[in-house]
Amino acid sequence: MNTSMVITVLGMVAIAALGLSGRRRPSKQLGEWTVGHRNFSAATSWFLQAGEFFTTFSFLGLAGLAFDGGVSATYAIGYLAISLVTMYWIGPRTWRLGRDHGYLTQADFFAHRFGSPLLGKVVAVVGAVFLLPYLQLQITGLGLIVQLATGSHAGANLSMVLATVLTVGFVLWSGIRGIARVAYLKDALMVLALLVLLVAVPVSVSGGLGHLFHTLQHTHPQLLTLHAPGYDATWFTTSMLISAIGSGLNTMPHLWPPVLSARSGKALRSNYVWLPLYQVALGIPVIVGLAGVLALAPGTSGKSVLLTMAAHSLPGWVVGLIAVAAAGAAMVPSAAIVMGISTLVSHNLVPVRSERARLTTNHLTVVAASAAALVLGLTRPDLLTNLLLLTYGGLAQLAPATVAALARRNRLGATPALLGIVTGVACLTWLTFGGVDIGNWDPGLISLAPNLAVTGVATLVLGTRRDSAEARAGTAAPEAAVPAPDLG
């Protein structure tokens, strides 16, 4: 076992130990396990929400995308900035609804705002299914990180197993409090690692950042514009739009607990003002990927670019520390994702009444979902590749109904909303698996068109939702009479 491997393993154990310290005794209620006491400070909410910025995709995917497609990789910076502008308005509204009506999940929001438990269950199924490949991505990415950092395939598999067990352990024990505590460390390590890479990689490749772009301008000018094969302006625009729609309307189930657990709407709104500056750090993996164009062979796998460049530029022990940061970027999102899946299953899908049975079901789902993702990551790492492409696009099909439900008076009926979601998901599945040539358009964005069309036609046929519908269903929203939003 080399130095990098030792440092990586010790780092993962330290991350899990910090997560376990988030609670002295296990929670006895699912609500407390999921959203705490809804009193997290602005700083804690900041790091929980920033967790989506730094994942294995941020660490490996963006560098690989820049290696293959040049500055097209900056779409991630664009969509996150746009989504945070949207969340500036939506976040406090979502938080207040959650506080007033006790939401634990995204599906609770749909069931309440549409007065339809069936719609809530459908949303829970869609959310759980589309989050599973995202969970596998984090676990598989962790194995790749360790393999690239240590040169050991066996060590990579061992690390995947170890990280999964450690993550499950601290999630079961500490819930969202453990995730929040680890998020502090993970983001600090990630920022430090990225700053080291920003200095070391350009210097080792071309003598500095300025020389790097000067060389690229003369040798690979297409990578500095939106003209790289497969990553043109159409790909850039549609990918940024569908991602901004999904993130900006909070359609990812695992991102609801960070919002619902906040102390106030004002704390959330303050964070959304400054978070766009934080995610500028995502430009660093893009720079590393562009540097790889000058240093690595053309056929190099994009997902290996960042750590390969780190190994070429830094001593082994530093590479080990960077691998620890990358491991944190896999473990923390994995914890949040598995929490999102388990709460949807135990709270919205499995009909259990007692709190103890619900918590037991939740914990069993955590273990089952993590084990399934681990087994697939070890045996068939590419099995869910196509399904992964559906994740953002599939969850974005919830966006039209989300917009309607956020309104003070929801005029959209449950049936039109349900038909629109099902149509959008079905269209997306057909476009992805049916061999349909759509060029560089994002299939999720295309699928929103029939989603909206079916929703509109169904509304015309069935009529709008009457003001008395919520009262008849026993789900009247008292905040509807409040003239202005209370930001806490």
Q: Give CA 157 to chain center in angstroms.
A: 23
Rounded average pLDDT per 10-residue block, the chain, 488 residues: 80 92 83 93 90 80 92 93 95 97 97 97 96 89 79 77 92 94 92 93 92 94 90 94 94 96 95 88 94 92 89 88 89 94 96 90 96 88 61 93 95 96 96 89 96 97 62 42 39
Query: Which alpha helices (DSSP H) does 175-304 contain, by range?
Result: 176-206, 209-219, 233-248, 256-260, 265-278, 283-295
CA distance linking residue 85 with residue 487, whole number of Å: 16
DSSP state of 252: -
Asked if residue 298 lies in contact with residue 209, where contact means CB atoms within 8 angstroms, the answer is: no
| pLDDT for the residue numbered 263 | 95
| pLDDT for the residue numbered 386 | 55
| pLDDT for the residue numbered 385 | 52
| pLDDT for the residue numbered 387 | 60
CA distance linking residue 84 with residue 45, whole number of Å: 14
Asked if residue 103 lies in contact with residue 120, where contact means CB atoms within 8 angstroms, the answer is: no
Pairing outcome for strands 231-232 and 227-228: antiparallel
Closest Cα partner for 19 from 338, 281, 319, 247? 338
DSSP per residue, 37-63: TS-B-HHHHHHHHHTTTSSHIIIIIHH
3-state secondary structure 140-175: HHHHHHHHHHHCCHHHHHHHHHHHHHHHHHHHHHHC
- The Cβ of residue 274 has, within 10 Å, a number of other Cβ atoms equal to 11
| pLDDT for the residue numbered 392 | 87
Asked if residue 239 lies in contact with residue 442, where contact means CB atoms within 8 angstroms, the answer is: yes
| pLDDT for the residue numbered 32 | 93
**Residue count (the chain):** 488
Instruction: Specify the CATH number of the domain 3-385.
Output: 1.20.1730.10
| pLDDT for the residue numbered 467 | 41
CA distance linking residue 307 with residue 59, whole number of Å: 9
Q: Read off the amino acid at residue 307.
A: L
Task: Name residues whose C-beta falls within 8 Å of residue 218's C-beta, 6 or more positions apart in sequence.
Answer: none
Domain boundaries, the chain: 3-385
CA distance linking residue 38 with residue 32, whole number of Å: 8
| pLDDT for the residue numbered 465 | 62
116: left (phi over 0), alpha (psi -120 to 50) or beta: beta
Closest Cα partner for 294 from 311, 282, 309, 315? 309
| pLDDT for the residue numbered 479 | 38
DSSP state of 480: G
pTM of the full predicted structure? Answer: 0.90
Name the token pair of 19. 């997560």
Closest Cα partner for 76 from 426, 392, 480? 392
